[in-house]
A and B are shown apart, each in its own frame.
Chain A
Amino acid sequence: MADKTEIFEERFIRPVGVTGRYTILAAVVCLFLPGLYLYFFHGLFPPLEPLIRALIAVWAFMIVMGVIEPIVYYPILGYGGTFMSFLVGNILNLRVPVSATAQAVAGTREGSPEAEIVSTLGIAGSIIANEAVLIIGVILFLPFIGEVQGSGTAMAVALDQVLPALFGALGAMMLVRNYKLGLVPIGMGLVIALIKDDLPFSVTIPPMVLVSVLSARFMYKKGWVKGDTMM
């Protein structure tokens, strides 16, 4: 038995760790290619001050989630699955169910080397299918871009409201799924919006995140909220 663990460590954990780390670092470099391309070939570069403010807004919640999510999902995704899932994204709506289904189909014991292999293969399979659908889909979509991008079309008018529509959907998720966690941020957002309704995200997001987390901590300590299945 100890032998099997050793083989697994040697043949799987170690090489996957090396592959995972270097492919992700390569991906981080590739992440900046579109921005650099726009700068060098079209002279497009963001004015620094708005960019920094937009980044403050995004980082205020992305850094918290970036640190916590790998820890929370690791037990489900496994070692190989973690490297792949966080690179490809769509973790809760795709990778977690895939990993769980693959493990259920194979009937492996949770936490065993077999479960790790099954989860890894399932997630890899989902990534291949995922990329194939996106590549085929975008090729099929190309002939119709003109229609969508013309301004003044009905589509363009409806698309103006994409953010409010998204926030309506998220508001419903917050209140239906875990209203105790949702009430404080929505309530506080409402109070701020009543005072001033055109604040940029960089001003509202950091303090809102702080208050929301502190109130969640309070409710958790009191035993009012016990856990949450995340988005």
Chain B
Amino acid sequence: MTDYLSAANSPGMWLACSAIIVVVIFQAARITMLAYRAGLAIGMSRQQMMAAFRTGMTTAIVPSIAILLGLALLIPRLGVPFPWMRLAVIGSVTYELIAAGAAATEMGLEGLSGRFDGPVFSTAVWTMSMGVFFGLLIVAFFTNKIKKMKDRVAGRDMAWLSVLTSAAFFGAVGYMVAQPMVKGGPPLVAMLGGFLTMVLVGAVIKLGRQEWLKEWALALSIIGGMAASGLAVHYLGIGG
């Protein structure tokens, strides 16, 4: 039943997934041009602006490689082009995994560990796509309003808004964090592995002042969790 993967990796799928990346690059190029010209008009120097652009490029390279690692986690179930598009645009590994997991569970699978087929795959594709378009419309139509509002939203409200987003996200994943604890077996081992790796990486970042590790923390923790479950199967016979 891995037949759907030939559709997921077909040339047509590559084409369908590439369109949005062309839009992203066009947008970045056009806004760069506008910013550069406006900068000259208000008396900024070429060097100053080139430095800003270069800083952006160099700062992004290492985190982008971390994103690539996340890509490897999605490819086995979803083929190559679709996860590639998702992570090149809008997405984050966390959101994509949760959305794909939601689609798979609604289709009667046990999260992402079940066997995918055509209908499950297309449900995941539509869920991942439709889950984010609302946020894009907000930015398209309300960024002007946010610009005007900026001065009126006081610091105190900003603090509450930041708590609110975190609370919404924490609420969304609370049950999923608890699920493996109750289920036990390989999911529990994977979860503990992920948990401990994150604590460890967090400690290294804080105590060792290794800020660059921040972008890698999540990918490393997921790999730590998966490795833990693999090792448990091999040496302790848990699951398998």
Contact = CB atoms under 8 A, between A and B. Distances in A.
A221 to B, nearest CB: 9
A109 interface: no
A130 to B, nearest CB: 5
A189 B178 contact: yes
Interface string B43-58: 1100011011111111
Interface string B133-169: 1111111111110110110010000111111111111
B134 to A, nearest CB: 5
B221 A86 contact: no
Q: Is the interface of B mostly helix, strand, loop or mixed?
A: helix
A128 B167 CA distance: 33
Interface residues of B, number: 171
A74 to B, nearest CB: 5
B49 A118 contact: yes
B67 A134 contact: yes
Nearest to A20: B143
A27 B20 contact: yes
A178 B15 CA distance: 42
B162 A170 contact: no
B84 A138 contact: yes
B36 A121 contact: yes
Among A44, A148, A208, A213, find the residue whose CB has the most chain B CB atoms closer than 10 A.
Answer: A44
Given A168-B198, A181-B170, A205-B172, A141 B177 contact: no
A32 B129 contact: yes
Given A54-B123, A102-B52, A149-B76, A163 B97 contact: yes
Interface string B198-220: 11001000000000001101100
B134 A62 contact: yes
B171 A61 contact: yes
A58 B16 contact: no
Among B31, B77, B180, B186, find the residue whose CB has the most chain A CB atoms closer than 10 A.
Answer: B31
A88 B26 CA distance: 12
B168 A64 contact: yes
A183 B12 CA distance: 46
Among B65, B135, B199, find the residue whose CB has the most chain A CB atoms closer than 10 A.
Answer: B135
